Structures are given as structure tokens and as C-alpha cells.
Amino acid sequence: MKHIVMILLLLALLPGVAAQDMVELDFMCYENGNECSVYDDLLSRFSEANPGITVTVNTVPYTTVRDQLRVQVEAGQAPDIARITDFAGMAGFYLDLRPLMEDPSLMEENFPSAILEAFRTDDDMSGLYGFPDAATVTAPFVNATLFEQAGIDMPSAVMDEPTWDDWLAALGEVADATGLQYAMAIDNKGHRFAGPAMSLGADFFDDEGNFDLADDEGFRAFAMILKDLIDAGKSPAETWLGTSQYTGAQDYFINVEAVMYFSGSWQIGRFSSDIGDAFDWVVVPNPYGPGGSTGVAGGAALVGYAATEHPEAVAMAMEYLMQPEVYGEFSSRTLSIPGHNGVAAMGVDYSEAPPAVAAALNGFAAEVPKLQNQAVALNPHPLAFAYYDASNTRLAQYFAGELTLDEAMSRLQEQLDEAAANMAAG
């Protein structure tokens, strides 16, 4: 009888022991399309192969990641894993995966060193903290159906290196011929603004890598172009005026209110679902200027946080997502450009995507070789988000007529200098 009682007691305790040994990871994820749902599926397979670990993918708005995540981290409430875009912003809080990974070369050999370095503090030469899960590139989307209806050739179809002047002239003709108000819409983000400015000759950084925009002629040139468009009613003023917060302009393009929309590769999935076959849309090369033809590179990344109670499990999950076959499936299913060298070399299977989507992905991929060095360095720069926020504010004030362009650029540089001083002071 005693033996039976002991067995029953042990059986009663077993579920508690199993629950105690179970590791549950919290993954804070934002998405532009279906990224988080794809991660949920991929990580469910990871959990099947590793029965002691579950990963809960919590999908949140991007504003939560941008505005609230750091507060949570500093309050000791960091998730185990997060999908972020400000790589340098929380350096010092990330989990170093190097001593926990089975094969650290998986990170070192497949991701650009400049990106891996962006997650490190200044005195850290070797830590491996995060990896880009998708590369992004900025470039224009164009409504090809409107060009056809207007009987006008796209400049990129008849010129080797069409300039911003060439494109703006053609966009204006198409808008007039088809009765559209807006020739071009662009998100109110200093990130989107940067590519055209660089093409027009802007040099964002000095020789030491510090922002240097107070008297930059390329930055000035695109600001003047955009103000002329807004003042003439050829670009939607609502996108920029009355707010310094990010406002996407994609709806003007989706609703056939703008001939061109300047944004980036992350919009492809949405356009595929929201536009469908309503009209033909294409990605065209970035217009040329004195600085050539360049967009801006960027992307999202996955990081683990040092405060996690389960560092080994975090490293296992992230190493799993870095495997070429898993990463490649993520790229294929999310219609994203891989930031993984091995996957890019193998190629991504977009065969299940609609022809317009596959063409757009190839169009953005064609922009990558033309990227200026500064266009790659901008997004991982420690003060990138200080620039994005300050440029939004100052450009909005210039477009609204509250500041002259000289005043706007001067105040932008003052904010960047102040941010640099604060960063140096710790």
C-alpha cells in the first residue's frame, strides 16, 4: 500500500516538474506585412524540435517598438527577443550570442560587419548581438497604367540615366493628362528624404562620421523640390504639415491619387494585397543627380536581451532562424530582400508571388549595387533616429513656412550636435 501511495504522489508531482522545466520565451514583433505570423509558424517548428522551449510571438504596432520598448528594457521588463530597427539605440542591453551559439561563424560570415558592429558599445570589438532579418531599399513606385493611359513613356524606359528633373516633368504631364492632383507622394520621414538628397549630391557625414548638414547643397536641393511640389499642390501637404510624427503616404498611391510614391521595398506585400490587379505598378530606378542614383539601405533586425532568464534558449531560437533554409523561407514568405549573404547567394524563391511582386523585388535588388556608402551607413548610425526625428520636425516647419530653409537646416544641425554631445556624455 505504501508503494502505491508513493507512486501516486510521484505521478502527481510530475506535471509540476515538467511545467517548471518548460522555458517560455517572449518575442516582441512588429510587422509591415505578415512577418510576425511567419515567425510564429517557423518558431512553432522550432518548438516541435525542442519540446522544452516555446516562443510566444507578440505582434505589436511599430510605435510600441519605437517609443516604448526602451522604457520597458530600462525598467527591467525586456522581452527575451525583439524585432527592432534602431540597432545602436539600446547597445549595452543586448544578449551576446557568441558564447552561446553552436556556430558563431553563422553570423560572422553571413551578415555585413558594419551591421554586426552597430549593436555593440564602443569598447566592444567582438560581441554578436543581433542580425538583420530583411534588407530594405528605398526607391520610387510608379503607376504604370497611368503612364499608358496618358500615352507618355516612363523616363527609365527611354533614358539611361533619367534625372529628378526628367521624372518630375513626366510625372506632371501624366497627372495633368489623367486628371490626378498629385504627381508624387513621399512619406514624411528623413529616412525616405535621404536617398533623393544623396542622389542630388548630399554628403550627410564629415570625415569623422558625424552628421554635417547645416550647409549641404544636396539636402537643400531636394527640400526645395519637395516644397515646390507641396506649394503647387502636386504633392499632398497633409503628409508633412501639421505633424512631426511619421505619416506614410501609401494610401495616395493605392487609391490612385498620386502617379509616383517614394517609399521602399517593405511596401511590396501591402501593394500586392491592397492593389491587386486594379492597376499596374512598378518599381523604377532611383532618379539620377550629381550624386548618382541611390536609395537608402535599412531593415529590421532580431536581438536578444541580456536580462533574459533563458539565454541559452534565446540563442538556440535565434541560431535556428539564421539557418539558410529557415531564413530563406522567411524571405520567400514575407516577400523581403534577404540581408543574409548565404541566402542572397542561393537566391530566394519568389515563384509563388504574383508577377508584379517578383518584378518589384528584382527591381529593388537591382538598386543594391548602386547604393552609396553613406546610404548603407545611415540606418545603423548611432544618431540615425535623432536625425529621423529632427529632420521630420524641421522639414515640416520649412514646408509650412514657419522656418526658412537656412533656419530649418541650422536647427536640424544644432539638434544633431546636441544629440552627439549627450551621447558622448553618456
Residue-level pLDDT at 2:
45
Count CB-CB contacts under 10 A for residue 44. Answer: 12
Q: 317 is written with which cell numbers? A: 531560437
The SS3 call for residue 423 is helix
pLDDT exceeds cutoff 60 at 16: no
Residue-level pLDDT at 353:
87
Q: 22 is written with which cell numbers? A: 518548460
What does the pLDDT look like over 330-378, one tens digit per residue?
Answer: 999 988 898 898 998 888 888 888 899 999 998 998 888 898 989 988 9
> Nearest to residue 29, comparing CAs of 93, 105, 82?
82
Alpha-carbon gap, residue 332 to 47, rounded angstroms:
21
Q: What is the H or E stretch that residue 323 is in?
A: none
Residue-level pLDDT at 245:
66
Residue-level pLDDT at 163:
98
> Nearest to residue 64, comparing CAs of 26, 30, 94?
30
- What is the DSSP secondary structure assignment for residue 94, as one 8-state letter? B
Cell 499596374: give the residue. Answer: 280
Give every CB contact of residue 150 below 8 A, 6+ residues apart in sequence.
173, 174, 177, 178
pLDDT exceeds cutoff 60 at 17: no
Q: How far apart are the first and last CA of the chain?
A: 68
pLDDT exceeds cutoff 50 at 201: yes
Alpha-carbon gap, residue 399 to 408, rounded angstroms:
10
The whole-angstrom distance between residue 425's C-alpha and the CA centroid of its chain comes to 29
Alpha-carbon gap, residue 253 to 208, rounded angstroms:
39
Judge if pTM exceeds 0.75: yes
222 pLDDT band (50/70/90 cuts)? very high
241 pLDDT band (50/70/90 cuts)? confident
Alpha-carbon gap, residue 137 to 152, rounded angstroms:
27
59 pLDDT band (50/70/90 cuts)? very high
β-strands 53-59, 23-29 pairing: parallel
Q: Mean pLDDT across the stretch 80-106?
A: 95
Residue-level pLDDT at 107:
96
Q: What is the H or E stretch that residue 131 is in?
A: strand 130-143
Residue type, 47: S
Q: Mean pLDDT across the stretch 112-121?
A: 88
